[in-house]
Structure 1
Amino acid sequence: MLAHHAATASPRRRPGRRAVLGALSLTAVCSLVSAAVPAAGAEGAPGGHCAGRTRVHVPGAAHQHADCLDELTTAGTVASGHTDPADFAGLTPKDLPTPSGVPGIQIDGYFPDSSTTNTNHGWNHDAQFVVRLPDHWNGGLVVSGTPGNREQYANDRAISDWVLARGYAFAATDKGNTGLAFHRDGHRPGDAIAEWNTRLTQLTRAARAAVTARYHQPPARTIATGMSNGGYLVRWQLENHPELYDGGVDWEGTLWRSDGPNLLTFLPPALRAYPAYAAGGPGAEDALKAMHRAGYPAGSEFLWPYHHQVYWDLTQRIYREEVDPGFDGATEAGTAFCASGTPGCDADYDYATRPAAVHRAVDRIALTGRIGKPLITVQGTLDVLLPISQDSDVYARMVHEAGRGALLRYYRIEDGTHTDSLVDTFPDRLRPMVPCHRSAFTALERWLTGNGRPPADHTVRRPAGADRATLLTDCRLD
């Protein structure tokens, strides 16, 4: 999910703030600072419940607080105040089961940063993180960045609950800036997104140290995973810091390429063509063809009204502002739902003709396909926020062209879309992606432990006649 929450008026970013990243050393010792996070439980005996809570620190953190919890999943953290349901609202089907029975330590805190968009805990401080350390540990660590512009608890239902129930330690970051005005962070175009990558690297190093302090041994495997913008982070990390990870699962990651395709090449055609298609009349057929040429697949038309209203316009404007703030002059992030032909309208944005500086800004955050550790990518064929032909199909080719194809498995999920909550609205047309992500994760586990290579790249067909309950829990990649 690339954009989240309603737009609000606010001052322009440039020049913005530059993030200050704390030095990370595995031997660093940081003060344990009390914070406005509810406390629960007590210190356990050595080796028991929450053992070593007072000695477990997140290196480099400016502020942190550890709690001993009887339940680390959302079955308990919603009530105890150790998560924020607003962070993960709309990301999963409403009937997704919630595991329970995972006691352990939760550490909330933040790294040094100068931006203040994240209001969780009343901290008004970015670079917030959460680290969860279950009592019954399987030896692994899962790290994640959030989808869209959400805060650090956004993956709690889709990812954290499930991996914690499997015994993994879990850590997540807010990526260093949040909300619809994320583009104000940084000095120059592209800085805000570039910080996302730095923050996940920072958290991974710190979380590995925290895990080592808690369990007296480093993690046997570290896996990066995330959806949408979080999937982009997985790709970038495995390209740029493969030494930190054993592998990753990329759930519909955003593709950034300086020569396209990227968000700014396929969203403007949709903003131009969709109104004519929706209006009907003599221009509707040509508009439909234009939508299909831009990458929005035939058969996905039932999803277009929602995405036009909620995602396409907003996503184009705020991400274009991040890399090309000069397009609309003094206006911040464009004019909502402007008609094609209006001066400075994002519906008429033409990335290919924009100045070289814009392409250099995108190049700073661009992907190359040169992954250095095993990666499994999953994306739905009915994704109309990041059309699959313009995203994961392209990234898979990039990986193969870079000579890294042996490290990739790519599964196109028939009838999957970008946001799983839409399955509740269209249960007969869509299948949830969350069980496919979990199947990909377990396939990666087997791959990393030498217990079987995942099946070759292919389209995972929707099982004929499968009911809603089956699709919510089952997605067989083979």
Structure 2
Amino acid sequence: MRLSPGSPPRAPRRNALTPLRRNALTALAVTALAATALPAAAAPAPAPPGGGAGHCARVHQLRVPGAELQRAACLDELTTAGTVASGHTDPADWAGLTPKDLPVPTGVPGIQIDGYFPDTSTTNTNHGWNHDAQFVIRLPDRWNGGLVVAGTPGNREQYANDRAIADWVLSRGYAYAATDKGNTGLAFHRDGRAPGDAIAEWNDRLTQLTRAARSAVAQRYHRPPARTLATGMSNGGYLVRWQLENRPELYDGGVDWEGTLWRADGPTLLDFLPKALRAYPVYAAGGDGADQARRDLHAAGFPAGSEFLWPYHHQVYWDLTQRIYREEVDPGFDGATEAGTPYCAGGTPACDTDYAYATRPPEVRRAVAKIALTGRIGKPLVTLHGTLDTLLPIGEDSDVYARMVRDAGRGPLHRYYRVEGGTHTDSLYDVFPDRLRPLVPCHRSGFTALERWLATGARPPASKTVALPAGADPTTLVNDCPLGR
């Protein structure tokens, strides 16, 4: 629900959704400061005056502005090396987003604040709160002066970035904050009064959290963050783009990891997913029509060489993603049915397989316009996208967004790295280690390039395709992704 706590949510409607495994939630289903350099190494936070010196002094005196409820804890370990056991994360939130052999850093004591902002929707069940707009803020004892904020991928909850992003930035001394975006789960589209409201709330919630987290940081360390960076994957990457376009004064820069593209005139996922749903069954069946169906999938944006990923994405992502996001911006398409009919055959009435965004009435474009991107970023942005992304095809997403940034005259603020062999979720690297590469280390390379850009003015390597190194061993691919010079 939107930030006004008194506004009623859009009434739940239509038939219940078909139950699906939780890991399907990875489907899309996340004051200006001078760019001063951060310390090379994290320094211990000063002991707060008037309180006990040392670890977690005055932990219970910290206040998150605007929070309806908050709980602070002094932890010996803020990374998932400790929070899994202490109950301060939820592994189900981040399942499937990282390769299994991704190292887990340790040795980050500090304060964690969990809580929620006022909201009327109740899809997030973490902590038994049954309350949306939940957040987590982590404040390490050894702080480098910076703050990283993130929204979640898919329709996941606030701990979804813990393995992919939070562990690493915390180990480098950053404070970290994340939001559940204000609605979660496969029926997220029930939130809000009108089509598009549920996704629009995501942007408001990240803005809200950024302001609140900056205040919490200032309370803990007795000075505001020297740098505030936004980052996130998939829907979280979309949030980075939107924030740097619409709230640039809050941030110094951002890293966009395969962000979702929304444009009133397209392309959006509602353009290419129905094409995939029509063509894939013909391709999978073989026979005379298979070659043409493969060409149709390529024409829809799914790149040649990604065929080995199509069966999994057809089973897990394409149908579900099309139905629930179409329901959010175009609920009238299927009448009294909620989020369509799973895997309906073309020709079935109100079937998402036959959905054609270009033919829909003007109110659908108005709903998308609420959440649309423009490319008019106001702070430096690094974008990374895998060339074998088979949920958000690169040619229909980040390639387009990079052109939008250039066309808006903001090209000098942007670096774009097309990562050869990367796909949408890094867990698939464990299944196809000989064909894919994980994007986690590429995100980290992009992040450190942004740090240098902001700290010294040294521009990152020119936008390029980052080649998949021939014969690289799995340990190297999980840990390294050089962007070049």
* TM superposition score normalised by structure 2: 0.90
Instruction: Look up the match of 2:370.
Output: 364
Instruction: Look up the match of 1:29.
Output: none
Letter in 1 for 2:282: A
Instruction: Look up the match of 1:351.
Output: 357
- 1:311, CA displacement in angstroms? 0.1
SS in 1 for 2:142: coil
Deviation track 1:325-349 (CA, whole Å, cap 9, x = no partner) reads: 0001000000000011111110100
What is the correspondence of 1:143-154 to structure 2 with a 5 Å cutoff? 143-154=149-160
- 1:52, CA displacement in angstroms? 2.5
CA contact (8 A) 2:255 2:446 kept: yes
The root-mean-square deviation of aligned C-alpha atoms, in Å, is 1.5
Write the distance in 2 (CA, Å) between the matches of 1:47 and 1:226.
Answer: 35
Instruction: Look up the match of 2:214.
Output: 208
Task: Tell me, yes or no, if structure 1 residue 244 matches structure 2 residue 250.
Answer: yes
Letter in 1 for 2:413: L
The structure with higher relative contact order (CA 8 Å, sep 6+) is: 2
Letter in 2 for 1:412: R
CA contact (8 A) 2:80 2:163 kept: yes
Instruction: Look up the match of 1:414.
Output: 420
Q: Which runs of 5+ in 2 are unaligned?
A: 1-10, 16-30, 32-49
Instruction: Look up the match of 1:265.
Output: 271
Write the distance in 2 (CA, Å) between the matches of 1:109 and 1:207.
Answer: 12
Correspondence for 1:330 among 333, 336, 353: 336
Write the distance in 1 (CA, Å) between the matches of 2:449 and 2:197.
Answer: 35
SS in 2 for 1:377: strand
CA contact (8 A) 1:13 1:185 kept: no
CA contact (8 A) 1:13 1:183 kept: no
- 1:54, CA displacement in angstroms? 1.9
Instruction: Look up the match of 1:287.
Output: 293
Write the distance in 1 (CA, Å) between the matches of 2:412 and 2:147.
Answer: 24
Write the distance in 1 (CA, Å) between the matches of 2:425 and 2:450.
Answer: 23
Write the distance in 2 (CA, Å) between the matches of 1:210 and 1:446.
Answer: 26
CA contact (8 A) 2:384 2:417 kept: yes
CA contact (8 A) 2:157 2:180 kept: yes
SS in 2 for 1:226: strand
Instruction: Look up the match of 1:31.
Output: none
Write the distance in 2 (CA, Å) between the matches of 1:182 and 1:117.
Answer: 8
Instruction: Look up the match of 1:22.
Output: none
Write the distance in 1 (CA, Å) between the matches of 2:57 and 2:259.
Answer: 37
- 1:394, CA displacement in angstroms? 0.2
- 1:452, CA displacement in angstroms? 1.8
Instruction: Look up the match of 1:431.
Output: 437
CA contact (8 A) 1:116 1:126 kept: yes
- 1:234, CA displacement in angstroms? 0.1
Task: Tell me, yes or no, if structure 1 residue 116 matches structure 2 residue 117.
Answer: no
Structure 1: 4+ residue segments shifted above 6 A? none
Instruction: Look up the match of 2:8.
Output: none
Instruction: Look up the match of 1:52.
Output: 58
Write the distance in 1 (CA, Å) between the matches of 2:382 and 2:300.
Answer: 26
Letter in 1 for 2:13: R
Write the distance in 2 (CA, Å) between the matches of 1:48 and 1:461.
Answer: 47
CA contact (8 A) 1:413 1:461 kept: yes
Write the distance in 1 (CA, Å) between the matches of 2:294 and 2:432.
Answer: 21
Task: Tell me, yes or no, if structure 1 residue 222 matches structure 2 residue 228.
Answer: yes
- 1:51, CA displacement in angstroms? 2.2
SS in 2 for 1:449: helix
- 1:13, CA displacement in angstroms? 7.3
CA contact (8 A) 2:203 2:243 kept: yes
Write the distance in 2 (CA, Å) between the matches of 1:402 and 1:417.
Answer: 28
Correspondence for 2:348 among 338, 342, 348: 342
What is the correspondence of 1:54-69 to structure 2 with a 5 Å cutoff? 54-69=60-75
CA contact (8 A) 2:14 2:337 kept: no
Task: Tell me, yes or no, if structure 1 residue 174 matches structure 2 residue 180.
Answer: yes
Write the distance in 1 (CA, Å) between the matches of 2:95 and 2:419.
Answer: 23
Give the fraction of aligned pairs with identical amino acids, expressed as a percent.
80
Write the distance in 2 (CA, Å) between the matches of 1:46 and 1:306.
Answer: 54
